[in-house]
């Protein structure tokens, strides 16, 4: 079984003898066999595999969106950072959206901020737009979004941000929201596992 945005899906397991990416190497990695044609179509390039935190967390790394590269090893200092609340496989950070505390699952595959409706809605009135689409391994999901007046990531104020509200069967105690980076305008994101810090510029 594999956890996705829409809940648990049935997948076939496999053991990959060795994975090597630049200076990162992992042996006997447990993986899942799945059709990734939807990513080929979306990205315009063939995608052979998706590496998760079980592999990537074996060393520090940086995602540089301006240079379109991932760097492993030594990290350059970032202007802002927040502590990880949980470590892999659920890498989470605390945030506040319009004063409401949420536990964000760090997920570079999510475009921006996404919150599960069942964990955020009670007693709050908002104006929603209806044209948000969320792409998952099981297809496209229609969702709503609203403009939050304030988003605090740790002690850092990200200001007014669009937040997607999604209906999903999964909203457990580990996290109730997702944090992506691209739509937040972050240029560089660092994962410092030695000091339990998520940094960004």
User: CATH code at 84?
Assistant: 2.40.70.10
pTM for the predicted model, two decimal places: 0.80
C-alpha distances out from residue 4 to 10, 11, 49, 53, 68, Å: 10, 11, 16, 15, 26
Residues 107, 111: Cα–Cα separation, whole Å:
9
Instruction: Note the pLDDT tens digit of each residue in 59-79.
Output: 899 999 999 999 998 899 899
The DSSP output letter for 90 is S
pLDDT at 110: 81
Instruction: Note the pLDDT tens digit of each residue in 36-46.
Output: 777 677 777 88
Average per-residue pLDDT for the chain: 79
Contact call for residues 106 and 93 (beta carbons, < 8 A): yes
Q: What total number of domains does the chain contain?
A: 1
Q: Among 22, 5, 157, which Cα is nearest to 82's?
A: 157
Q: Is the pLDDT of residue 175 over 60?
A: yes
pLDDT at 191: 94
Residues 180, 157: Cα–Cα separation, whole Å:
16
What domain range is 132 assigned to? 2-200
Q: Between 127 and 199, whose confidence is greater?
A: 199
């Amino acid at each position: 079984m594999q956890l996705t945005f829409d809940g648990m899906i049935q997948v076939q397991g496999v053991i990959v003898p060795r994975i090597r990416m630049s200076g990162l190497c992992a042996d006997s990695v447990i993986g899942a066999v799945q059709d990734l044609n939807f990513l080929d179509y979306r990205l315009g390039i063939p995608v052979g595999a998706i590496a998760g935190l079980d592999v990537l967390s074996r060393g520090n790394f940086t995602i540089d969106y301006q240079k379109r590269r991932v760097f492993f090893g030594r990290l350059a200092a970032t202007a802002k950072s927040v502590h990880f609340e949980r470590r892999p496989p659920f890498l989470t950070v605390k945030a506040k959206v319009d004063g409401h505390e949420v536990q964000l699952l760090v997920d570079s595959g999510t475009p921006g901020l996404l919150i599960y409706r069942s964990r955020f809605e009670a007693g709050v009135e908002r104006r929603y737009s209806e044209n948000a689409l969320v792409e998952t391994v099981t297809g496209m999901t229609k969702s709503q979004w609203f403009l939050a007046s304030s988003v605090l990531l740790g002690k850092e104020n990200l200001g007014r941000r669009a937040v997607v509200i999604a209906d999903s069967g999964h909203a457990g105690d580990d996290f109730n929201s997702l944090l992506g980076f691209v739509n937040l305008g972050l240029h560089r994101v660092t994962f410092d596992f030695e000091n339990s810090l998520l940094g960004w510029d």
